Amino acid sequence: MDLIDRYLSAVHANLPRTQADDITAEIGDGLHTEVEEREVDLGRLLTADEIVAVLRAHGHPRLVAARYARQQALVGPLLLPFYWRTLRIALSVIPALIVGIGFIGAIGRNDANLFFAGLGAAWDAALCTFAGVTIVFALLERYGPDAVTSERIAQWDPRSLPREATRATPMPYICAGVDAVANGIAAVVLLQLGVLRGGIPVLALPAIGTWPVQPTLAWQPLYVAVLISSIVLTLAGLLAFASPALLKLRDVEGVAASLLIIVGAAITLGSGPLFAGNAGPLEAICRQCIVGGIVVLVVVAIKHGRDWLRRERAAATPMAPEVST
């Protein structure tokens, strides 16, 4: 096998399988023709060093093959801003959530090791999150942009631009898609934490070792409210992703979901002890967390309501004519 054949073989190995033979034959013909032409000009065969120079000028086999790849980037420039944003949010929220669970577990069981176990699990979760988000965006890059993103970008409406100067935010339908995925994951996790009793999911944490406390039925209103909200928001997010006309309902859905969870949380707080047995500081911490959650949800509901009103007013206000100076 001479150098040119070895080179072609290396290019062939990195080409898309369906086209590899065809492309290699064409590159091989070009190389052989070039070598022959130079040999005719020189009146002798090319030396090994001269052939090496020809091949080096042609480029590294992997680079040559890469130019024929259908996908030139794992995540292209169109999706890159959304990729970074999603990654930033996911890498902030998920590991923090796991550390928080470890912290609560450590207090509940009075065992600091649980907190350190949570730290370790958070690192693993961060890696899995990074991989998962990257895979999703790589698939979107391969199968999505032409069919989904470009079409949506073409449908943009200048009237949807914010009235005040703000930092760039992802396009609403991308937010809807990300929300749908996040809520879908939340719904699955919540369903995993429950058991069906009379057709209704009831929160029942699995026994963990010698875990001394179990949740009471006081959690049920909050559990059901969050579960219903997650399922509804998942479906609403998917519909909004598929049909931009439904995007305007997202604020209404946000208000409704926030109010539902606030009501569920309030009923839970008023339904007696949250844990059977001696929960110690865990009972107080959970109650404070629920109160904190209610405050956050009130703010979220107000924000969604204000955005909805602003949008409605903007839609009702005719655009001012341009004034030429």
Partner 1 sequence: MEHSIDDRPELFENLRLELRRGCLALAVLSQLREERYGYTLRKALEEAGLEIDEGTLYPLLRRLESQGLLQSEWREENKRRKRFYLLSAAGTRVLGQLLEEFHRINTSLDRMTAETASWT
Number of residues in contact with partner 1, rule: CB under 8 A?
Answer: 19
Nearer of residues 63 and 284 to partner 1, judged by Cβ: 63
Closest distance to partner 1 from the beta carbon of 63 (Å): 7
As beta bridge partners, residue 201 has: 196
Closest distance to partner 1 from the beta carbon of 153 (Å): 21
Residue from 8, 12, 23, 82 binding partner 1 (CB under 8 A): 23
The interface with partner 1 within residues 132-161 (CB under 8 A) comprises: none
Nearer of residues 23 and 190 to partner 1, judged by Cβ: 23
Nearer of residues 40 and 316 to partner 1, judged by Cβ: 40
Answer yes or no: are the C-beta atoms of 102 and 119 closer than 8 Å: yes
Q: Tell me the C-alpha to C-alpha distance, in Å, between residue 256 and each of 23, 110, 225, 226, 312.
A: 58, 38, 11, 12, 17
* Residue 257 to residue 62: CA distance in whole angstroms: 52
Q: Does 6 bind partner 1 (CB under 8 A)?
A: no
As beta bridge partners, residue 215 has: 275
The interface with partner 1 within residues 25-54 (CB under 8 A) comprises: 25-27, 29-34
Neighbours of 307 (CB within 10 A): 14
> Taking the CA of residue 89 as centre, how many other CA atoms within 13 Å lie in the half-sphere pointing to its CB?
12
* Residue 76 to residue 31: CA distance in whole angstroms: 32
Closest distance to partner 1 from the beta carbon of 33 (Å): 4
Closest distance to partner 1 from the beta carbon of 68 (Å): 5
The CA radius of gyration of the chain, in Å to the nearest whole number, is 29
- Residues in the site for partner 1, rule: CB under 8 A? 19, 22-23, 25-27, 29-34, 57-59, 63-64, 67-68
